[in-house]
Amino acid sequence: MTATGTPAALTTDQAAARLDELTVIDVRTPGEYASGHLPGAHNIPLDRLGEAVPALRSAAERAGLLMVCASGNRSAQACATLAEQGIEAATLTGGTNGWVQHGLEVQRPEGGRAVWAMERQVRLAAGSLVLTGLLAGRRWPAARLLSAGIASGLVFSALTDTCGMARVLAKLPYNRAGATDLSATLAALKG
């Protein structure tokens, strides 16, 4: 963490140059991770980060930790969570999306299929629910409350930098496809 309380950040070029000396932790859902991740990255979904603190502390003692997600948002949250536990970690600026845009290699497990990034899933779900509420509200005025509820949730999400809808979507089967064996991952990190 920097003096301002924001996590340290590495650019794509900095991370690529130091990849062999970093322990990379991808905090996306297993489905997102399977669609392509940084070489050598370990998958610990953000909602399971608490279980991984002892293993991450051990890994951080041996090498720098680089937290990665699709865009950098969830990895920054992970860095903040780890900082509360006294564990230093950096986030990848631009996340996996930025990594791919720079033409750098991603690994995909055999049989891994593309899953939309969580931010994209949230936009689709929120937009669909707002539209449904507005359309249904033409016939049943009370249905507009659905749109109002989603709008309130989006405002709350922006103000708190959290996302309840993402937490719910992360539990859907396609986001859990090829779920990571967290026990094996944690054992590997404890080294």
Which positions are annotated as active-site residues?
69
122: Cβ–Cβ under 8 A, 6 or more apart, which residues?
Answer: 163, 165, 166, 169
DSSP 8-state assignment for residue 108:
-
d(CA 71, CA 93): 7
**What is the side-by-side order of every strand in the sheet holding 90-92?**
8-10, 90-92, 64-68, 22-26, 42-43
d(CA 52, CA 178): 19
